[in-house]
Amino acid sequence: MGILIALEGLDGAGKRTLVEKVVRELRALGRTVATVDFPRYGRSIHADLASEALKGEHGDLAASANAMAVLFALDRAGAADDLRDLVAANDIVILDRYVASNAAYGAARTRQGADGDFAAWIAELEFERLGLPAPDLQLLLDVPVELAAQRARLRGESDATRALDAYERDGDLQARTGGVYRELADNSWQGTWWRVTANADPAELAGRMAELS
């Protein structure tokens, strides 16, 4: 039985890049590793609807923080059995975004903190009602909001498929989301969190993860 690790952070923080490096290091240490990215674009109607809404489609869908959160939650619910199978078959399963993304962005959108109703509603919806497996560890890739925004912008300029969406264009939302993420980590929301900085050493991080498996 393996462990489930969720990597969290702002748009453009460098989560995907860090996951790739850490996975290489973990495999070099002899660990079996699987990864899943949320939202599951192209594989989940809920993820695709959420993405389209953030690009301006589907009327006023994106105006509702709760409606957007339900779409992201239903995307994950569709992967719950796969997640359990992956954890059974691997030493470590790393998720690029998980339930805390919904708590952080939704709380920030509704101008609440990590201890507010929105984050509590997400925990109840996703872990209790939809039965998603709880992560053994959540990592916050805690980079300055300006750096994350710059990386997201440069990526959008060089890759037309990654043009900035409504959340990425909203600098105030990104700043508030960063604040909620730090509160979630400080409050150990739904379990243990580690904070990882922008210049974290992937080999050192992989070594610490391997010790847990």
Ligand X SMILES: Nc1ncnc2c1ncn2[C@@H]1O[C@H](COP(=O)(O)OP(=O)(O)OP(=O)(O)O)[C@@H](O)[C@H]1O
Ligand Y SMILES: Cc1cn([C@H]2C[C@H](O)[C@@H](COP(=O)(O)O)O2)c(=O)[nH]c1=O
Cα–Cα distance, 83 to 65 (Å, whole number): 26
Binds ligand Y (CB under 6 A): choice among 2, 14, 39, 202: 39
Say how far apart CA 118 and CA 115 lie, in whole Å.
Answer: 8
Residues 99-158 that bind ligand Y (CB under 6 A): 101-102, 105
Peptide bond into 133 cis (omega under 30): no
Nearer to ligand X, 17 or 188 (CB): 17
When the beta carbons of 79 and 210 are compared against ligand Y, the nearer one is 79
Q: Six-digit token pair at 75?
A: 């995307």
Q: Which of residues 98-157 bind ligand X (CB under 6 A)?
A: 151-152, 155
Q: Judged by CB under 6 A, which stretch of 23-31, 55-63, 95-103, 110-118 contacts ligand Y?
A: 95-103
Is 38 near ligand Y (CB under 6 A)? yes
CA dist., res. 8 & res. 96, Å (int): 7
Q: Which is nearer to ligand Y, 25 or 168 (CB)?
A: 168
CB atoms within 10 A of CB 205: 18
Among positions 14, 156, 178, 202, the unique one binding ligand X when judged by CB under 6 A: 14
Helix H or strand E segment including 36: strand 33-37
Contact call for residue 17 and ligand X (CB under 6 A): yes
C-alpha span between 112 and 53 (Å, rounded): 22
Query: Which regions of 41-197 does DSSP assign to beta strands (E)?
Result: 92-96, 137-141, 193-196
Q: Which residue is nearest to ligand X (CB)?
A: 14
Backbone angles phi, psi at 139, to 5 degrees: -110, 130
Residues 50-89 vs ligand Y: string with x where CB under 6 A? Answer: ----------------------x-----------------
3-state secondary structure of 187: coil
Binding stretches for ligand Y (CB under 6 A): 11, 38-39, 72, 97, 101-102, 105, 167
Binding stretches for ligand X (CB under 6 A): 9, 11-17, 151-152, 155
